[in-house]
Amino acid sequence: MLKRIDTLDYLRGFALVGIIFINIYQMVPYFFDPSATDLLSIMDRNIRTFINNAVYQRFYTIFSFLFGIGFYLFITRARARGEKANILFVRRLIVLFVIGFIHHQFQPGEALVLYSILGFLLLPLYRLKSRVNFGIAIVLWIPALWLGAIGSTIVMFILGLAVGQSRVFENIHQHKKIFRIMQVLSLLLIPLALWAQEQIISHTGYVDIGMTVGGLVIDVFYVTTLTLLLERTSVQKWLMPLNKLGRMALTNYLMQTVIILSLNAVFDLENNVFYMTLASIAAGILIFQIVLSSIWLKKFMMGPMELLWRIGTYGKIPDQYKRTSKV
């Protein structure tokens, strides 16, 4: 079995951390009094402001980028094993659509259905060179903004494919200078990006477009910074919980919905709690998932939904996944 790229698992885990803080308040409406001036209300507004600037529509973009990289790795490795890569990937998308369709009944804002449909666009692009795909992503970026989440997802899919073809994450040490330049440039551009975001939203009312414009620069900073930090062994150890969370990304993404809706049903949270209460619950869910993922992965190579996805893709348990010990 080909070696996993650990950095991608860390990034998936990092993306899941951000996604739950958005999903929880989209699934559970919170109490909000705009005229309140007490300390709790002020704290709540500040937390929401931070989430809107640092998290909202930031982490789904990272997830889309990682999907593009994952597509390249899946096709390339399947071909290296002599398998019918395109057919397998189509099956993979169909299974993802079924999982996403079921999930959509409980969480209408979920991303899996969209990913499974737009994923077909990547198949003809695989044969193109990385520079060509990178150019396509850049050219499409501005017009794609008008398509909202769909346009943003398409662009990040293609960008992820281009980065995968460049094998940047397979040879991070050789590309550290590029990562450092992108990190510094994105950091310097964050104030401008947030200003542009505010201008677009306030003058046009197009929230999705504004957040996408503001978010891309922040996403670049997040990804480059975390990737560079992970070049240090000590950081890898400290952030290992993110790796465990990311290795079971599909399972944990679906589990978050189950837990959030269950807690809401049991404790009647809807419109009865501040957002910071929901944020605290989200943090607790993440801790629970990290512990559970760590325990699970000591015995199994992947999460239960990841295994189901692979069985649906291959029609059986692939030989390289039958062993329970890590490779």
Sequence-ordered strand ranges (E) for the chain: none
100 neighbors 250 (Cβ within 8 angstroms): no
The pair of structure tokens assigned to 284 is 């607790």
Reference 74, options 63, 64, 85, 87; nearest CA is 85
Count CB atoms within 10 A of the CB of residue 141.
19
Count CB atoms within 10 A of the CB of residue 271.
10
pLDDT at 326: 43
248 neighbors 306 (Cβ within 8 angstroms): yes
157 neighbors 68 (Cβ within 8 angstroms): yes
pLDDT at 325: 40
pLDDT at 319: 65
Query: Residue with structure tokens 């789904």?
Result: 60
pLDDT at 321: 57
153 neighbors 112 (Cβ within 8 angstroms): no
Instruction: Going from the first residue of the chain to its last (327 residues), give the mean pLDDT of each consecutive group of 10, the final group possibly shorter.
Output: 79 95 91 81 89 84 95 95 95 97 92 96 96 95 83 94 94 91 95 91 86 88 96 95 96 97 94 92 97 94 94 80 46
- pTM score, whole prediction: 0.91
- How buried is residue 287: exposed, middle or buried, by Cβ count under 10 Å (0-12/13-18/19+)? exposed
